[in-house]
Amino acid sequence: MGAQWKAKPKEAAANARGKIFGRLVKEIMIAARNGADPDTNPKLRLAIHQAKKASMPKETLERAIKKGAGLLGDTISYEKTTYEGFAPHRVPVIVECLTDNVNRTVAEIRVLFRKGQLGASGSVAWDFDYLGLVEASPASDDADAELAAIEAGAQDFEDAEEGATLFMTDPTDMDTVCKALPEFGFTVNSAVLGYRAKNPVTVSGTELEEVEAFLEALDGHDDVQNVYVGLAV
C-alpha cells in the first residue's frame, strides 16, 4: 500500500455518495479560492475532474465552485490541517483534514488515535515522499507506460488496480504530466498531491486487522480528506 489508504471495496461501496461528494465539494471550494476558471487554475481543474469522475451532479459542482470563489456571498472557510502519528504496531500514518472548526477536529482526531499514537508535526513525515500521484489507464493496447513516464516527465511509475498505471511526479510537474499523458495513449483517472511511504511496515494476521480497523475509523471521520499509511501488504 504505502500511499493513500482506501477502504476495502465492500465498505467503499456501502459508503453514502453524499459523503464522497462532501469531500469533493470541500476540495473544489478550497481550489476555487484562487479563481473560478479551471483553465487558469490547475488545482480547480483537477478537482473538477475528480468530481466528474465520481458523477457529481452539475448543479452541485457549479455551486461548489461559485461558493469557493466567493460569488454567492455565503462562503464557509475551510482550513487544512495535517496530523502525524502511528497506527497500532508502529505503522506510520499521515492524516489530512479540511475543517471549519480546528478545535473540534483536533479533539476528535486525538480520540481516534488512542489506539495508536498521535505525534508532533514532522514525527513521521520524514519517512514519506510528497509527490504528485497520477493514476491513468491505457487507452489502447500499444500504450507503453515506461515511454509515457519518460516523455511526460514523470519520476517513476508502477502498476495500479484494474490495469491502470500510477505515475509519480514532482508536485510542481503534476499538471504538466496530466496534460501530456493522453498524447502517449493514457487516460487520466485521478491526480492528487499526496504522501508515499519510503519504508512501508509489514504486518499480517490479527495485527493487520487491528491496523485496518484503525485506518477505517480515521477514514470515516467527516473532516478527514486523505489518510496516507506506510503499510506493505
Exposed/middle/buried for 91, CB within 10 Å: 0-12, 13-18, 19+? buried
Which structural domains are found in the chain, ordered by start? 9-68 (1.10.10.200), 81-126+198-232 (3.30.70.980), 127-195 (3.30.70.980)
What value does the mean pLDDT of the chain take? 88
Query: Is the pLDDT assigned to residue 11 strictly greater than 60?
Result: no
pLDDT band at 1 (very low <50, low <70, confident <90, very high): very low
Rounded Cα–Cα distance for residues 81 and 94 (Å): 11
Does residue 64 have a pLDDT over 80? yes
Given a cut of 80, whether residue 223 has pLDDT beyond it is: yes
Digit-coded pLDDT (tens) for 147-206: 999 999 999 999 988 899 999 999 999 989 999 999 999 998 888 889 999 999 999 999
Local confidence band at 233 (pLDDT 50, 70, 90 cut-offs): low
Pairing status of strand 79-87 against strand 91-99 = antiparallel
User: pLDDT by residue (tens digit) across 65-109?
Assistant: 998 888 887 666 788 899 999 999 999 999 999 998 999 999 999
Give residues with Cβ within 8 angstroms of 162, minimum separation 6: 137
Question: Amino acid identity, residue 168?
Answer: M
Distance CA 77, CA 99 (A): 8
Condensed to tens digits (0 to 9), the pLDDT of residues 184-197 reads 999 988 888 899 99
Q: Report residue 140's pLDDT band, with 50, 70 and 90 as the boundaries.
A: confident
Q: Is the pLDDT of residue 7 over 60?
A: no
pLDDT beyond 80 at 4? no
Tens-place pLDDT, residues 35-63: 899 889 888 888 888 888 888 889 999 99
Name the residue with higher pLDDT: 113 or 69. Answer: 113
